[in-house]
Structure 1
Amino acid sequence: MDYRDWEILKVLYSEKNLTKAARLLFITQPALTNRLKQMQEELGVKIVTRESRGIHFTPEGEYLVQCADNILAQYNKIVEHVRNMSQTSGNEVVGTMKLGVSNFFANYELPYILKLFKNQYPHVEFKVITGWSKDVTKLIHNKDVHIGFVRGDYNCRGLKKHLLFEETVSVTSKEAIDIADLPNLPRIDYNGDFLLKSLIDNWWAENYSQPPFISIEVDQVDTCKEMVINGLGYGFLSSRILNEIDDLYKIVLTSQKGNPILRRTWMYYHKESLEWNVVKAFVNFIEGLNDHLNNELRESNR
């Protein structure tokens, strides 16, 4: 078994699903199934069994997964140590970074950030896994990625964190509306992450005694935005997604005390990861971008 096999076992155990594991491993499901079969033949034991709800690890498979964490950690430590040794005499930073990124951040922020970083460190490569913020927090906790970009104040104890920016959330519509009449107006709803849904639901419960009139449900915030732009109803949209859109009516959500309700975006990482030059360089770069990001936010809120 090689490094990749141990990585496959760890991801597969975490997901308990071949399709999801294959996506995270950047391989096809048939390739993953074939490699798993080869591992079982090599070891002469059954590692997993298939069930209607996914896969189940045998006792032998459970033991191999326990070994995987230590083997992968030791391997990564050796690789990064050797790379650090080769860089002590110069300023070149090389290596591969694994990033876990929320869907919104991946679409609206990450490409520009990686472009700027690659201008300074052209020999750094990236593997990017996108998903809901709650799933990204799991990736960073399990050390499946070096750095996570998370939208919302999730519980990430034991991790180093850095605040990237704060956003306001607005009731947004094509035409001016009376916020007191909101329960009677058509609302465009979309599948956001759990914390955002809780934030909006709590605000609604504090201000209205009747449920909203949801006329259209969509699965993406971008679709919701386009529906609002076309006058099909109002939606709850954050300030960054409304950048460069000036002809919409916006009412910023506030608390009972009149303070804006803010949604935060964080960078998370393990402290020991800073021992790796490539991670340290990336963290320092992101922290240095704060002034730029905050200036953009102030512009978007004007």
Structure 2
Amino acid sequence: MRDSDWEILDALRRDHNLTKVANSLFMTQPALTKRLQQIEKEFNIVIADRNNKGVIFTPQGEYLIEKAGDVLSLLEEVKHHLLLIDEGKTGTLKIGTPHSFGRFVLPSLLQKYKTSHHDINFDIKTGMSGEVVKLVRNKEVHIGFIRGDHDFEGEKYLLDQEEGYVAFNKKIQLSDLPKLPRIEYTRDPVTVKLIDNWWRAHFDTLPTIGFQVNNLDSCWEMVLKGLGFGIFFGPAIVPESEYFKLSMPTKEGALLERNTWMIYRQDYIETALVNTFIKFVKEMNALY
């Protein structure tokens, strides 16, 4: 049915007189009658019976006319909501993030965004950075945040460069590392390769992996208990007074760094919901 058909039924709901309804809609009465017959044919019902007393609506007609106002209100609501989505003012933004970024960075970012975009909702999917790349590539999320330099065919925006460092519960030197147990946690293969390349450039022996845990928090707890050293990037989750921090210089004299990227598909840029958030992240990043 067309919107105008619901308007006809809504007019009949307010005024059961065909002549008055036709006049209010700037139609002739034969044109109105013809349109009502077409509506009856579409729904396979009789809307009204006509006799010498006027128009008598059937139960089916009464029900259809009664719902016309609800349908028109819903249509207006849908049109308004679609307009807001088109303007990037409402909708659900799907974001992919690695666990560390989702824990330490993303909540603050979303909190700031929500202060000026109250009606935007978020669907957050977490996983390793390589998995986030796949989520963006397969259109399962609109925007992804990843750690490390992954291959990606779409758009990439550099958010941060985090220095790598060794953490232990007491003072050590780089030369001590091969003799100490290392506590390792489950990481993305790109970060694992970055650390392995650094290790091979400095030491002739493989590291002694004393403990293998599945998350960053467990790794930090074991480091603080003196069970071994850990290798981390970015800010620590404990106060600096509780551990000893050792920088990780490269053979070229720089410090080991890991890039953090925002990634998204080119075909999503024209979507206001996505584009508005991308601009916000870039503006926030420019402030720091």
Instruction: State the TM-score, normalizing by the size of structure 1.
Output: 0.65
Check whether the contact 2:88–2:272 (CA below 8 A) recurs between aligned residues.
Answer: no
User: CA–CA distance in 2 between the matches of 1:109 and 1:198?
Assistant: 24
Residue of 212, 217, 220 corresponding to 1:217: 212
Deviates more, 1:197-206 or 1:242-251: 242-251
Partner of 1:117: 113
1:197-248 Cα offsets, whole Å, 9 max, x none, are 1111111111111122222221111211111122221110112235743332
Distance 2:229 2:207 in 1: 11
Q: Distance in 2 between matches of 1:88 and 1:129?
A: 21
Specify whether residues 241 and 178 from structure 1 end up closer, same or farther in structure 2 by C-alpha distance, changes over 3 A only. Answer: closer
Contact (CA 8 Å) 2:268, 2:274: kept in 1 or not? yes
Deviations 1:16-61 (A, max 9, x none): xxxxxxxxxxxxxxxxxxxxxxxxxxxxxxxxxxxxxxxxxxxxxx
- Report the 3-state secondary structure (helix = DSSP H, G, I; strand = E; otherwise coil) of the residue aligned with 2:146: strand
- The answer on whether the counterparts of 1:188 and 1:214 sit within 8 Å (CA) in structure 2 is yes
Question: CA 1:246/1:290 → structure 2, altered by over 3 Å: closer, same or farther?
Answer: farther
* Equivalent in 182, 194, 204 of residue 189 of structure 2: 194
Structure 1 residue ranges without an equivalent (≥5): 1-81, 295-302
Q: Secondary structure of 1:206's match?
A: helix
- Describe the shift of the 1:208–1:149 C-alpha distance in structure 2 as closer, same or farther (beyond 3 A): same
1:258 matched residue in structure 2:
253
For residue 144 of structure 1, give the secondary structure of its aligned residue in structure 2. coil
Flag the structure with larger Rg: 2
**Partner SS state of residue 145, structure 2:** strand
Helix, strand or coil for the counterpart of 2:197? helix
Unaligned runs of 5+ in 2: 1-78
Deviations 1:54-73 (CA, angstroms, capped at 9, x unpaired): xxxxxxxxxxxxxxxxxxxx
Q: How many residues align?
A: 210
- CA drift at 1:85: 6.8
For residues 39-118 of structure 1, the aligned pairs below 5 Å read 86-87=83-84, 93-118=89-114
1:281 aligned residue: 276
Runs of 4+ in structure 1 deviating by more than 4 angstroms, as ranges, are 82-85
| Superposition TM-score, scaled by structure 2 size | 0.68
Alignment match, 1:146:
142
Q: Secondary structure at the match of 1:168?
A: strand
Q: What CA RMSD, in Å, does the superposition of the two structures yield over aligned residues?
A: 2.1
Contact 2:85 2:91 in 1 (8 A): no
Q: Deviations over 1:161-190 (max 9, x none)?
A: 111111011111110112112111121111
When structure 1 is superposed on structure 2, of 124-133 and 251-260 the one drifting more is: 251-260
Give the structure 2 partner of residue 165 of structure 1.
160
Residue 156 of structure 1 is matched in structure 2 by 152
Q: Where do residues 17-36 of structure 1 align in structure 2 (5 Å cutoff)?
A: none
